[in-house]
Amino acid sequence: MKSSATDEPQAPGQAPVKTRRFGISLVWIVPIIAVLVGISLVVHNILQEGPTIVVTFKTGSGLTANKTEVKYRNVVVGQVTDVELSDDQKSVNATIKLAKQAETFTREDSQFWVVRPRIGAGGVSGIDTLLSGDYIGADIGQANGRAKHFNGLENPPPITYGEPGKRFMLHASDLGSLDIGSPVYYRKIPVGQVVTYALDPDGKGVNIEVFIHSPNDAFVTENTRFWNASGIDVNVGANGFAVKTESLSTLLIGGIAFRAPDYSPNDVAAADDKDFDLFADQTTALAPPNGKAQYLSLRFDQSLRGLKVDAPVEFLGMEIGRVVAINLDFDAKKRSFPLNVGIVIYPQRLGMAYGKMLTAFKHDPNDEAAGIRLIGTFIDNGLRAQARSGNLLTGQLYVALDFFPKAEKVAFDPTARPVVIPTVPGSLEQLQEKLEAVVDKLNKLPVDRIASNLDSNLVELRKGLTQFNAKTLPGVQNTLADVSKTLQSASSTLAEDSPQREKLTETLDELGRMSRSLRELSDYLGRHPESLIRGRPDNAAPLDLKGPPRN
């Protein structure tokens, strides 16, 4: 028999070595593979798991754990896993599990809001949630930092998904009828919208941020003017009524329009986030720049019913400012209630005259003291303020600055702030004073005495006329009759063809006409004795003092 390798002879003094073979049973292979697959799935899930964030909302309306989804561009990027009250119980914390590919939504300026049916200035949104239920909308931020806690928006942002365009800040005295989503028009075409608004830090105005979509944002230039296009602009002029409006939607939700003046040389596109003023209307917006404002004070000792804030201020018929304040005061010395009127003027509106005035007086517009001295010179030459009627139908007044050379001299105080401009009574008040003076003179006349004297004179005149008609006139007529008889007797003694007879006939005719005229005069004076004082009226019938024409 052959011996195996293990049967080889051992060296003397060495113990035999025994070896074992390690074997794995096939039964354990399947569990080991299952464990490895499970471990790989766990690792894969951990690697593919997205971040978890917490978004705080004012209420939990529309939020349901393990049901409410988070969507971006209508694609699900996460889900709400838990909804609970905050520690102070003033808000609701929604825990959101984001997908791995939605990790960019953890940027610090990312935005989240609840999408539900809404009707706003930008239109109707969220109608699809009527069937599918509310969900959380999301928008990716641009910041580099990351965050896990966010404050949810109560209203969806008007600009999402990185829309290209530019933002601009408008400054106005009040918001008017504008709201988030109100459209912005360029040549009556909507090109943007209002995205947000807030009060000034000092509370004296409103800052309105607008977004203009690309490529229309290039039309916003350095010289562009914005104005409030809300409502209807109605103007009444010599050519009739003029009605202007941007669109029907501006009547309901308001709107803003913008355009640069027609003559804008070397104009360039405005930079992002540039500030502009928001004017009240197009006319004011496209007018020449106002320049530096000058505030003045006026004091009137008359009633100013019809004068309102924003009433125009004119200089020689040209509008250069407006009324900003009207306050009632009390004068203890005169025991009267004067009115203090505050106005603001813009000297640059004088145009060419303003430039020539600066050159003639070598005046620096930035030198306030020099400007006040210049106003004092104008006051010494008769510059006064006067309230005048601007519309006889409505009774509205405006303030006119004009020169009155005959006005009384007044002392000018250059230290007063604001500068005080002396005033003169209005044109209606001056007319009223003149009428009152005339009425006073008439009241001072002795009308009763004059009337009594006139009545007595008329009585005496009537007595004289009666005596004239009863005694004097009949005697004159008798005398004329006797003369006529005498002339007739003389005529009978004269030859028919003698010149003396013709002259005598003419004399008799003249005497007859004179007698008839005296009778008519007597009758007329009997009917109108006042004509001796007032004279014969122009429309009276003519008296035939010459009698009928001779044959």
Query: 347-356, 358-367, 446-455, 540-549: lowest mean pLDDT where?
Result: 540-549
Give 435 or 18, the one with higher predicted confidence: 435
> Distance between CA 166 and CA 267 in Å, rounded?
18
Give 162 or 2, the one with higher predicted confidence: 162
Give 440 or 241, the one with higher predicted confidence: 440
Query: 417-421, 429-433, 502-506: lowest mean pLDDT where?
Result: 429-433
> Distance between CA 55 and CA 83 in Å, rounded?
10
Mean pLDDT, range 30-48, rounded to an integer: 74
> Distance between CA 332 and CA 336 in Å, rounded?
7
pLDDT single digits (tens) 311-353: 999 998 888 999 999 999 998 888 889 999 999 998 888 878 8
Give 174 or 290, the one with higher predicted confidence: 174
Quick one: pLDDT at residue 417? 87
Quick one: pLDDT at residue 551? 41
Question: 183: helix, coil or strand?
Answer: strand
Query: 237-241, 309-313, 389-393, 522-526: lowest mean pLDDT where?
Result: 237-241
- Write the DSSP symbol of residue 529: T
pLDDT at 498 over 70: no
Quick one: pLDDT at residue 282? 87
Predicted model pTM: 0.54
pLDDT band at residue 407 under the 50/70/90 scheme: confident
Quick one: pLDDT at residue 208? 94
397 beta partners: 389
pLDDT single digits (tens) 257-282: 999 988 778 889 999 999 999 998 88
Structure tokens that stand for 304 in this block: 């100013």
pLDDT at 42 over 80: no
Mean pLDDT, range 367-394, rounded to an integer: 85
CA–CA distances in Å: residue 123 to residues 155, 182, 234, 319: 13, 9, 27, 41
Give 448 or 83, the one with higher predicted confidence: 83
Query: 19-23, 182-186, 369-373, 472-476: lowest mean pLDDT where?
Result: 19-23
Give 234 or 306, the one with higher predicted confidence: 306
- Residue 289 — φ and ψ, nearest 5°? -60, 140
Looking from the CA of 300 toward its CB, the CA atoms found within 13 Å total: 21
Nearest residue to 149 via CA among 190, 99, 110, 189: 110
pLDDT band at residue 3 under the 50/70/90 scheme: very low
CA–CA distances in Å: residue 304 to residues 428, 429, 431, 450: 11, 11, 16, 42
DSSP conformation letters of 2-52:
PPPGGGSPPPTT-PPP--------GGGHHHHHHHHHHHHHHHHHHHHEEEE
pLDDT at 23 over 60: no
Quick one: pLDDT at residue 29? 78
Q: How many CB atoms lie within 10 A of CB 106?
A: 19
Quick one: pLDDT at residue 356? 86
Give 358 or 95, the one with higher predicted confidence: 95
pLDDT band at residue 17 under the 50/70/90 scheme: low
Quick one: pLDDT at residue 295? 92
DSSP conformation letters of 261-298:
-S--TT--BPPTT-EEEEESSHHHHHSPP--S-EEEEE
Nearest residue to 86 via CA among 54, 49, 117, 40: 54
Question: How does the average pLDDT of the chain come out, rounded?
Answer: 80
Name all contacts of 272-275 with Cβ < 8 Å and 24+ positions apart. Answer: 272/166, 272/167, 272/168, 273/166, 273/167, 273/168, 273/169, 274/168, 274/169, 274/220, 274/222, 275/168, 275/169, 275/170, 275/171
Give 492 or 544, the one with higher predicted confidence: 492
Quick one: pLDDT at residue 165? 93
Quick one: pLDDT at residue 461? 72
